[in-house]
Structures are given as structure tokens and as C-alpha cells.
Amino acid sequence: MDVRELCRRFFPSLPGLMEHLKDGATWEYHVGDYVFHLRKEQGAPRFYEGPASDPDLTLYFTPEAVEVLSQAKDADTYYRMYRELMKSPQGAARVDYKLNKSMVKLAKMGYVKWARRYGFL
């Protein structure tokens, strides 16, 4: 399966990926030259091709990182694997991110609870 199809199938279907975040939370992904975004709507992530107009954060993944992370079956495993790649990239599997909003705005959207839940704080 190519990386675009893997992204389309994996990210919106991962249980708990955007848990604790309010509807409207938006993540923009850059996987090589492929750009898409997820927006939480009606309690679930929804996949959209192309960049987001005002993302909360931007995530940068190599295609190899998507292949590694797509092995996760739940959010706990996914975020553990993500943190490991942040600290110690594995060969070509690399991840990075950029926050696009103030901490106050992110906190109002539920990011503090999300970050605590998944070990980022």
C-alpha cells in the first residue's frame, strides 16, 4: 500500500487519536510532499486532502515513520511509538511537529488533558 493510502486509512480510524480534544481541533500532516489534515468533527477525526486553513499544529513525518506508526492498534501504543521516534529516530523514520496556536488557545481545545493522557506533559 502506498503511503497516501496508508495515511487515508490509518489516521482517521485509530481509536483514541484525538481523544479529549474538542470538535474543531485540527492537525495538518506533511508526509514527504503529501499534505493532508484531520479535523475532529462530531467526536471523531475526519480526513481531508490538502492543507488546513488554520491548524492547531503541524506534524512532519517521513514515509518510513508512517509505516512504523501505522503498526499501532490504539492511541496509547501510537503515542508511545511517536515519543520514541521523537527522542531516537530509527533510520529514515523521523517525526517532528510545530505548534501553531498559543498555549491558552490549545488549552481551551483540550490539549492539556490530551497531553497528560498520552505522556507529553
- Amino acid identity for residue 81 in this structure: M
Beta-bridge partner residues of 97: 59
CB 51 within 8 A of CB 110: no
Per-residue pLDDT reduced to its tens digit, 93-119: 999 999 999 999 999 999 999 999 999
In angstroms, rounded to a whole number, what is the distance separating the alpha carbons of residues 116 and 95? Answer: 20
Cell of 108: 481551551
* Angle 58-63-67 from CA coordinates, rounded to 5°: 110
Would you say residue 119 lies in a domain?
A: no
- Predicted confidence at residue 100, as pLDDT, reads 99
116, part of any domain: no
Domain total of the chain: 1
Residue 97 lies in a domain: yes
Helix, strand or coil, per DSSP, at residue 16? coil
For residue 36, what is the domain's CATH number?
A: 3.30.1050
**1 pLDDT tier (thresholds 50, 70, 90):** confident
Residue 117 lies in a domain: no
User: Tell me: the pLDDT tens digits for 37-94?
Assistant: 999 999 999 999 999 999 999 999 999 999 999 999 999 999 999 999 999 999 999 9
Let me know if 39 is exposed, middle or buried by CB neighbors in 10 A (0-12, 13-18, 19+).
buried
User: Does 54 reside within a domain?
Assistant: yes
Per the structure, the complete domain to which residue 65 belongs is given by 3-111
